[in-house]
Amino acid sequence: MSSTVLAFDRVTNLRGDRTAEAGVLAGERSAARVGEAIRFEGVRKSFGDREVLRTLDLDIPAGQLVAIVGRSGGGKTTLLRLVSGLALPSHGRVLVGGREVNGLQPSVRLLFQDSRLLPWQRVIRNVGIQRRPNWRETAEEALAHVGLADRARDWPAVLSGGQKQRVALARALVSHPRVLLLDEPFAALDALTRTEMHELFSRIWQEHGFTTILITHDVAEAVALADRVLVLRDGQIALDIPIDLPRPRQSVGSAEAARLQAHILGKV
Ligand SMILES: Nc1ncnc2c1ncn2[C@@H]1O[C@H](COP(=O)(O)OP(=O)(O)OP(=O)(O)O)[C@@H](O)[C@H]1O
Ligand SMILES: [Mg+2]
């Protein structure tokens, strides 16, 4: 059994004992080295004459949670596609875990604004879609992890938007991603559900230790979740700032958070 799988099992077993969980998992996280570093070296991406990303140099350390904000059409989704291997740079190179990305990356998972569940498969089969050995047990564990243990037999159509996104998150988690890319996954949710998803995602990210790039239009969300916020403007990084607020960040309404949000908004 790999150390990653072991870490995941411990997480599941320790659920409910938050203090012990935090202590053990902090150790697990560094020991398991789940996250992989991401690096952009002189990356440019054009579609025909349109240059969407221009000379992007970026280092994201293993396990970091980076939020990217920027105007519509600014190249955010394109950047994620380059990390996942769904698209290749026109110039330069992208590295994940020190390896150049030249095709789909098995260690990288993407979550989108819509959950993209298969409507003709029950929840459990959507989560265990890869049908690996013991897929059913693993899928049940992942569903429990996102608080949906009792919905395994349901069809996707009867779930709420937030529940569908949690199923999509569970589906990503079963493959033990080293990098999780989120393309506005909370954008379509109501404010209360979105806050719940922030707490859930934050906890899971801290437990698992994968590297995350979160695309969002919501500057408050970026400040609430991320270690670091980038503003992408005209295909370049217009701002790159650390968010050093303590976690958990219930106090997103704090003066410091408001100052950071205003600073970021000024650069978008
Ligand atoms: N496959 C493609 N072929 C041609 N042009 C593309 C392709 N993919 C993206 N583009 C163009 O690249 C630009 C950036 O698109 P991208 O989807 O990365 O923006 P975005 O920042 O994610 O925008 P939004 O916030 O609206 O999601 C747009 O002008 C878009 O039309
Ligand atoms: Mg986009």
Same domain, 145 and 184: no
Same domain, 210 and 259: yes
Same domain, 85 and 155: no
Task: Tell me if 10 is assigned to some domain.
Answer: no
pLDDT of residue 247: 85
Same domain, 223 and 96: yes
Task: Tell me if 208 is assigned to some domain.
Answer: yes
Ligand 2 centroid to Cα of residue 268, in Å, is 15
Q: Domain ends where: 139, 158, 176?
A: 176
Same domain, 158 and 71: no
pLDDT of residue 129: 87
Task: Tell me if 8 is assigned to some domain.
Answer: no
Ligand 1 cavity residues, CB under 6 Å = 47, 52, 70, 72-78
Closest listed ligand to the CA of 217: 1
Q: Domain ends where: 156, 176, 196?
A: 176
pLDDT, tens digit, for every residue of 254-264?
888 999 999 99
Dihedral sign (CA 247, 248, 254, 259):
positive
Cα separation values, 194 from 61, 105, 162, 177, 185, Å:
27, 28, 8, 23, 9
Q: Which residues contact 243 (CB under 8 A, 6 or more apart)?
A: 222, 223, 226, 227, 228, 229, 260
pLDDT-flagged residues of the chain (< 70) = 1-33, 250-253
Q: Whose CA is nearest to atom 6 of ligand 1?
A: 47
What is the atom index within ligand 1 of the atom nearest the CA of 78? 18
Domain count of the chain?
2
Task: Tell me if 67 is assigned to some domain.
Answer: yes
What is the atom index within ligand 1 of the atom nearest the CA of 70? 21
pLDDT of residue 184: 94
Ligand 2 centroid to Cα of residue 84, in Å, is 14
Residue-number span of the structural domain to which 148 is assigned: 119-176
pLDDT, tens digit, for every residue of 41-56?
999 999 999 999 999 9
pLDDT of residue 248: 81
Q: Domain ends where: 136, 153, 176?
A: 176
pLDDT of residue 222: 95
